[in-house]
Chain A
Amino acid sequence: MTIDGSWYLALAAVVFTIGAVGVLVRRNVLVMFMCIELMLNAANLTFVTFSRQLNDIGGQVAVFFVLVVAAAEVVVGLGIIVAIYRRRVGATADDPHELRG
């Protein structure tokens, strides 16, 4: 018999929390982006776990779409980061005054 699903859910909760704290604590934009990927992966693990628990392929389909959206998100997000760095070297997330017109 395989591991009970609630252990997977607890593991995913821990990883999601680590990612969320990382987004709040870190200031490097790239590392914050990686933390968002962590949170997405924790959510994916939850989807697959419920897919197994409920014996329904729909959860895996959701993970499939999350993967596609994550790929598109990374492309656009990294493009934005490169554009920001091109204007101002060494930008961190602590420069909100850059947003003033």
Chain B
Amino acid sequence: MGGLLATVSLPDLATFLVAAVILVGGALGVVLGRNPVHAALSLVATLLAVAVLFVEEDAQFLAAVQIIVYTGAIVVLFLFVIMLLGVDRRERALVEQFRGQRLVALGLGALVLAEVLLLGTGHWTTGAHATTGALSRPLSNVAELGRAIFTTYLLPFEITSALLVVAVVAAVVLARRFDAPAQDERPPEGDPGDRPGDESEVAGR
């Protein structure tokens, strides 16, 4: 590590270290936070740290998109659902449903960490990789990314639009379909004798 520190410029090192601390701390906050609102705010810190690391790695467009889409839309959606459901009362987190669940989870986590670190630090020979475009051309990052998306990856990009349409339709369907039968079924469940009256009331509308 001493050799690494000697070759790295100080601003780069400081940025990386601060972002890494915020990243890991925010991730721990998501997992350990009792209150879901606190978990969501820790998630915001984590996503911002990832955006900083994206800038550090010359992915400026993705850093901007990360902030706009993730912290601007996704986490706000999370918070919106938390507020809507009112689930910010404390989870009975201290009670284990299955005995030894935490221990097994931590053991599996350590295993995953060891495996991924082993995979990440090793050198693998997989042959020449398919090149989409070089990063360090005279073009900017946005131009390079746009060229790759609209030439090489045009078909996946178009399919993405179909995915977004499907997601919107699914959200609308999920929000509506459970509502209509619930209104019809609730009165018969509570008091079966009221059913004819209920129907006439519906017809009267």
Contacts and interface: CB of A to CB of B under 8 A. Distances in A.
Interface residues of B, number: 90
A52 B60 CA distance: 12
A15 B97 contact: no
Given A18-B27, A24-B109, A61-B153, A78 B78 contact: yes
Contacts of A63: 59, 62
17 contacts: A3-B4, A7-B4, A13-B117, A17-B110, A21-B109, A25-B101, A26-B93, A28-B91, A37-B43, A38-B46, A57-B148, A61-B148, A64-B145, A72-B164, A75-B168, A79-B170, A87-B182
Contacts of A41: 46-47, 50, 70
Which of A21, A33, A49 gathers most chain B CB within 10 Å?
Answer: A21
Given A20-B109, A25-B105, A37-B43, A69 B163 contact: yes
Nearest to A62: B153
Given A1-B9, A75-B170, 11 more contacts: A3-B4, A3-B16, A17-B109, A21-B109, A28-B36, A52-B58, A56-B134, A67-B66, A69-B160, A78-B77, A78-B78
Given A48-B59, A76-B174, A38 B116 contact: no
Contacts of A22: 30-31
A94 interface: yes
Interface string B79-117: 001101101000111000100011011101110110011
Nearest to A72: B167
Contacts of A31: 30-31, 33, 36, 39, 91
B130 A58 contact: yes
B133 A56 contact: yes
Among A13, A27, A85, A87: residue with most chain B CB under 10 A: A13
A28 to B, nearest CB: 5
A55 B121 contact: no
Interface of A: 1-4, 6-22, 24-28, 30-31, 33-35, 37-38, 41, 44-46, 48-49, 51-52, 54-58, 60-61, 63-65, 67-76, 78-83, 85-87, 90, 92, 94
B78 A30 contact: yes
B179 to A, nearest CB: 8
B121 A30 contact: no
A97 to B, nearest CB: 12
B54 A51 contact: no
Contacts of B30: 18-19, 22, 31, 34-35, 38
Contacts of A45: 50, 53-54
Contacts of A49: 57
Nearest to B173: A79
Nearest to A70: B74
A24 B135 contact: no
